[in-house]
Amino acid sequence: MAHTKTFSHGHGVSNVNMDINMDVDSNLMSRIKANKQFSIYSALVVLIILVAIFAPWLAPQDPLVGEMKNALQTPSAEHLLGTDKMGRDTLSRIICGTQTSLFMTICLVVLVAVVGTFVGTMAGYFGGKIEMVLMRFTDMMLSFPGIVLAIAIAGIMGGSVINTILALCVVSWAKYARLVRSLVLKIRNQDFITAAQLCGTSTKMIIWQHILPNTLPMVVITAAMDIGTMMMEIAGLSFLGFGAQPPTPEWGLMLNEGRQYIQTAPWLMVYPGMAIFIVVAIFNLWGDSLRDILDPRQT
Amino acid sequence: MKRIIGRLMQMLGTLIGVSFLTFCLTWLAPGDPVSMLLETADTVVSAELVEQTRHDLGLDQPFLVQYVNWAGGVLHGDMGMSYSAKKPVVDKLLEGFAGTLLLAVVTIIFVLIISLPLGIWSAVKRNKLPDYIVRGLSFIGVSMPSFWIGLLLLYFFGLKLRLFPIAQSEVTAAGIVLPALTLAIYMSSKYMRQVRTVILEELNHDYVVGARARGLSETTILWKHVLPNAILPLITLLGMSIGWLLGGVAVIEMVFSWPGIGNMAVRAISMRDYPLIEGFVLWIAIVYMVINLLVDMSYSWLDPRLKKEAR
């Protein structure tokens, strides 16, 4: 790639770069318009986000308070999806659970992407000893089943929303660091970076203006495709009792509580699981179609 | 050979790093293992007894000394005593590992039975009805949380149809079916896709065109030519899942109360049984990395061409 641009110098370089970006952008818009699936899935994703935001108003009853005399009721007109052991309305808890799950997942995905991008950029751009140390550490995290360590971290630190996010972040950033480093290595040796360096642009500016914008698309695709998996891992930790704590309405936790009543109240384990399944499926479809648009080569 | 030594050194580094990280966690963690330990005895605990126990367990020593002592013990095959079970950690780990290993082996057999035929079928009938069905199933499986699959199977086959026991404290032949099936469904949904991709890639090679030109039947091409070539990438994928199975199935073991290492670890964490947790993490790291190493080494054995390239 690099040697094809040997003829561009100085300010011309940034123009070339801008042209490429604009080209990509207009291509992108036409591809988004052509891809009907993506529009449908995006609409569904927006719907989920709206449910999460307006959960307190959408929920027919209070998700945290129930009457004990209503405990473990079968689904009825009043409680569409039945009630749990405390007499709380399952439907309301599932709707409010959207907020908990989505909030935790988005925090986790953003945190993982930021940490991974930071480590990857540092390693890729500066090279040398920094790169060696950071990449050794990254390899260490990658050569180990993350979920085991996440269980240990969340369990030992004590289950809570924040500890779950931190535990899963500790074991998930390495993949992003690796990806970003390889992208940065490709960009770093291109001529427009050398030109920027020659012009006396500060390292900070080069990273913010030239390196990061070029790594962002791949990071976004990877993060989008990871949303479903991350959501399931969060639910898994909560299911084990190391995530969100009662009385928080969280789907994994609800499944854990419902598990004890599998014989008498199966609706307690069917519907929260269904909620996870539907939301994860939508995010997976959305992530796949986003990848198809941004990175058509992989299909 | 040089490559293997390099890998072993890297593994050693990872083991030290991971065990140190776990050690730091137990040190940073809220909650005191000594009071947890003594409070279970259900008596009023004097300050002297707490201090004495702390001293006996070596918890009054500086952090690094504790770590070095522990690591020294590990090198002699001694991972300390489990606080809660009052047994050597090594014994507890082996006990739990037997159950997990059995579960992993049965799961892998199920995975192969489910995903190989379906994956191959889907690749051969590409973009036809069977392919869409298999891809649809695979997508559904990937989006379902494994523990939910487990709960559903438990409900239908255990409670409604009463075909299998719903909880067991001992390892039984009937009891292993549901947990293994749960894991197999979850894994097969990924594996089917990968089998499909690998077979499709092989079908695109020139030798397949050549074989067709020679008038060989599609069945012969598939069984005699394509499958042997597809085995190598499939083994890699399977090897990685074995490592995952041996370490990350705590959730499923809990759903079915399966007496495995993941279930044991979850209990150890709730009881703040630090030596057992440290032993568990280290053990899983070792198993996982050894399996990956074996998978890597099996390449050059299965495909001698790679041996030349490595040099």
pLDDT (tens digit, 9 = 90+) per residue, B91-123?
888 888 888 888 999 999 999 999 989 999 998
Report how far residue B165's alpha carbon sits from residue B168's, in angstroms, rounded to the nearest whole number: 7
Q: How far apart are the first and last CA of chain B?
A: 10
Query: Is the minimum CB–CB distance between B31 and chain A shorter than 8 Å?
Result: yes
Q: What count of other Cβ atoms lies within 10 Å of the Cβ of residue A155?
A: 25
Nearest residue in chain A measured CA to CA from B247: A148
Cβ A294 vs Cβ A224: under 8 Å: no
pLDDT (tens digit, 9 = 90+) per residue, B168-222?
666 677 788 888 999 999 999 988 988 998 898 888 888 888 888 888 888 888 8
pTM for this one? 0.84
Cβ distance B148 to A139 less than 8 Å, yes or no, reads: no
Report how far residue A286's alpha carbon sits from residue A44's, in angstroms, rounded to the nearest whole number: 9
Contact list in A for residue B280 (CB cut-off 8 A) is 148, 152
Please tell me which of the candidates A148, A157, A273 has its beta carbon nearest to residue B145.
A273
Cβ distance B145 to A235 less than 8 Å, yes or no, reads: yes
Cβ distance A263 to B159 less than 8 Å, yes or no, reads: yes
Cβ distance A148 to B10 less than 8 Å, yes or no, reads: no
Cβ B272 vs Cβ B40: under 8 Å: no
Return the H-helix or E-strand segment holding B236. Answer: helix B227-247
Residues 6+ apart with CB under 8 A from A198: none
Cβ distance B18 to A151 less than 8 Å, yes or no, reads: no
Report how far residue B70's alpha carbon sits from residue A256's, in angstroms, rounded to the nearest whole number: 35
Nearest residue in chain A measured CA to CA from B7: A143
Q: How many contacts does A have with B, using Cβ atoms within 8 A? A: 125
Query: Is the minimum CB–CB distance between A245 and chain B shorter than 8 Å?
Result: no
Provide Rg for chain A, Cα atoms.
23
Encode chain A (299 residues) as per-residue pLDDT tens digits.
333 333 333 333 333 444 444 455 566 677 777 778 888 999 999 999 999 998 888 877 777 777 777 777 777 777 777 777 777 888 888 999 999 999 999 999 999 999 999 999 999 988 889 888 898 888 888 877 788 888 888 888 887 889 899 999 988 999 999 999 999 988 888 888 888 888 888 888 888 888 888 888 889 889 988 999 999 999 999 998 888 888 888 999 999 888 888 888 888 888 999 999 999 999 999 998 888 887 665 44
pLDDT (tens digit, 9 = 90+) per residue, A243-259?
888 888 899 999 988 88
Query: Which DSSP category does B257 fall into?
Result: T
Contact list in B for residue A149 (CB cut-off 8 A) is 18, 21-22, 281
Please tell me which of the candidates B145, B266, B289 has its beta carbon nearest to residue A232.
B145
Name the minimum distance, in Å, from the CA of A33 to any CA of chain B: 24
